[in-house]
Amino acid sequence: MAEQKTLNLTIARVDAPVFSGPVVSVTVPGSEGEMTLLADHTPLMTALRAGTITVRKADGTSETFVVTTGTLEVSK
């Protein structure tokens, strides 16, 4: 089985990081609707609305984080 590509993800609040590490994908509640990001995604910046961020790790496990508002930045 081929190794899955990962992206480095940081989820942070103003006062502290909440999650940091490599993930296979992250699904976020974007201002225009839900979106899933994978490795090598095009850079973008968008507002987040209230909802759940779902992080999928390479070992097959997932974590979820509740968000009320925020900003998403994807960069190289």
Kind of pairing between the strands at 51-56 and 33-38: unpaired
Q: What is the pLDDT of residues 14-53, one digit of tens each?
A: 898 999 999 999 999 999 999 999 999 999 999 999 999 9
Main-chain dihedrals φ then ψ at residue 50, nearest 5 degrees = -60, 140
Taking the CB of residue 24, how many other CB atoms lie within 10 A of it? 18
pLDDT at 76 over 90: no
pLDDT over threshold 70, residue 60: yes
The closest alpha carbon to 9, from 17, 49, 32, belongs to: 17
pTM over 0.85: yes
